[in-house]
């Protein structure tokens, strides 16, 4: 069987198709949002979002199963509770930075202590409790794309499209406020409206990956495509587009590789693929890279020697 045939066969299988499509969408959406965070120099906040989401998963599960009596393991309920919790986590980080003499770095560590530490305490409690459907809830920390259902894929696709729509509609405003927040405010794009929209979009867009790729490695999904795309693009809209494409392709390639290798979780393999893409971009992109700088220097030196 040729590689293409085996790939087609893989795609014909429902589980694998769900996996590959989901990781592709997750990769593309986090790549898209990552380019906005990357330019705002707010990259470590995606680490806080990823880790704090575990508190949201635990709280959401308890609310759904104990209070509302519904299955707390679907992507929709997980995404809603994680997005709310991580938005609170980001706000808490900002509040600490504003009201103390500590840097945002220490504020992030405090947020992690509260939300990640608290989340782990709750997860362990759920594990010992008698709540229904509790089996497997702890797996969301590392993620497992093979557990995704068709319904989960629909949720991921809808939320993904919504996140893309927000970024496309507000692109000009978001770009301006990333490069020059003061100008954006004077032009009438109120940060009071823009910031919450960006916050909700970013947290929701990042946490849809929970079930498929886990929480811990989210920062890689957000940053690696953006940093790779930056090497190939000179303008923000091309960078954002490249970042989404690199993220989406790496997501799909990574999950195909994970299926072929067997026994390995999907998230980490996608991260390795994304890192490879980043490394190639850093070393060898035509306009700005380690290789192009070296060649330019060499040309200059040779030109100098010829002139002498």
Q: Tell which one of 56, 247, 251, 268 touches another protein (CB under 8 A).
A: 268
Nearest Cα to Cα of residue 89 among 182, 229, 200:
200
Position 91 contacts another protein (CB under 8 A): no
Pick out residues in 109-128 that bind another protein (CB under 8 A).
109-114, 116-121, 124-125, 128
What φ, ψ does residue 81 adopt, rounded to 5°? -65, -40
Choose, by CB under 8 A, the member of 288, 297, 299, 301 that binds another protein: 288
- 103 near another protein, judged by CB under 8 A: yes
Structure tokens at 163: 């996140």
Contact criterion met (CB below 8 Å) for 234 and 222:
no
What do you get for the CA distance between the two ends of the chain, in Å?
61
Instruction: Kindly state whether residue 100 participates in binding another protein, applying the rule CB under 8 A.
Output: yes
Number of residues that bind another protein (CB under 8 A): 63
Minimum gap (Å) between residue 278 Cβ and another protein? 6
Task: Return the number of the residue (58 or 80) whose C-beta is nearest another protein.
Answer: 58
Tokens of 88: 């609170």
The piece of 18-26, 77-85, 150-158, 275-283 that touches another protein (CB under 8 A) is 275-283
43 binds another protein (CB under 8 A): yes
- The reply on whether position 99 binds another protein by CB under 8 A is yes
Q: Kindly give, in sequence order, each residue whose CB lies less than 8 Å from that of residue 286, ignoring residues fewer than 6 positions away.
A: 292
Number of H helices, E strands in the chain: 15, 0
Does 96 bind another protein (CB under 8 A)? Our answer is: yes
Q: Which of residues 145-204 bind another protein (CB under 8 A)?
A: none
Taking the least distance from each CB to another protein, the nearer of 138 and 157 is: 138
Q: Phi first, then psi: what are they for 228, rounded to 5°?
A: -65, -45
Q: Report the distance separating Cα 204 and Cα 90, nearest Å.
A: 12
Phi, psi of 217 (to 5 degrees): -100, 10
Span interacting with another protein, options 12-20, 64-72, 103-111, 172-180, rule CB under 8 A: 103-111
> Measured between alpha carbons, how far is residue 69 from residues 65, 119, 133, 145 in Å?
5, 21, 11, 25
Which residues contribute to the site for another protein (CB under 8 A)? Answer: 38-39, 41-44, 46-47, 51, 96, 99-103, 105-114, 116-121, 124-125, 128, 138, 141-142, 216-217, 219-220, 223-224, 227, 230-231, 261, 263-265, 267-269, 271-272, 274-275, 278, 282, 288-290, 293
């Amino acid at each position: 069987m040729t590689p293409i045939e085996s790939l087609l066969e893989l795609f014909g299988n429902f589980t694998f198709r769900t996996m590959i499509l989901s990781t592709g969408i997750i990769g593309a959406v986090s790549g898209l949002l990552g380019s906005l965070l990357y330019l705002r120099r707010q990259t470590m906040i995606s680490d806080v979002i990823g880790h704090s989401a575990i508190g949201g998963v635990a709280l959401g599960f308890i609310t759904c199963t104990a209070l509302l009596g519904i299955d707390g393991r679907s992507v929709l309920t997980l995404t809603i509770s994680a997005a709310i919790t991580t938005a609170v986590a980001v706000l808490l980080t900002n509040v600490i930075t504003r009201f103390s003499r500590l840097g945002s770095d220490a504020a992030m560590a405090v947020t992690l202590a509260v939300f990640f530490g608290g989340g782990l305490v709750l997860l362990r409690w759920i594990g010992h409790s008698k709540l229904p459907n509790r089996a497997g809830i702890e797996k969301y920390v590392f993620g497992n794309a093979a557990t995704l259902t068709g319904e989960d894929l629909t949720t991921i696709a809808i939320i993904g499209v919504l996140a893309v729509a927000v970024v496309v509609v507000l692109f000009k405003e978001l770009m301006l406020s990333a490069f020059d927040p003061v100008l954006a405010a004077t032009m009438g794009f109120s940060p009071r409206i823009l910031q919450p929209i960006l916050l909700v979009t970013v947290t929701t867009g990042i946490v849809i990956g929970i079930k498929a790729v886990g929480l811990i490695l989210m920062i890689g999904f957000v940053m690696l495509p953006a940093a790779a795309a930056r090497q190939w693009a000179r303008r923000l809209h091309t960078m954002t587009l490249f970042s989404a494409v690199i993220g989406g392709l790496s997501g799909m390639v990574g999950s195909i590789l994970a299926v072929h290798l067997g026994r390995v979780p999907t998230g980490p393999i996608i991260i390795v693929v994304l890192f490879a893409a980043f490394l190639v971009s850093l070393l060898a992109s035509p306009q700005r890279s380690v290789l192009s700088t070296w060649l330019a220097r060499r040309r200059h030196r040779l030109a100098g020697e010829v002139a002498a």
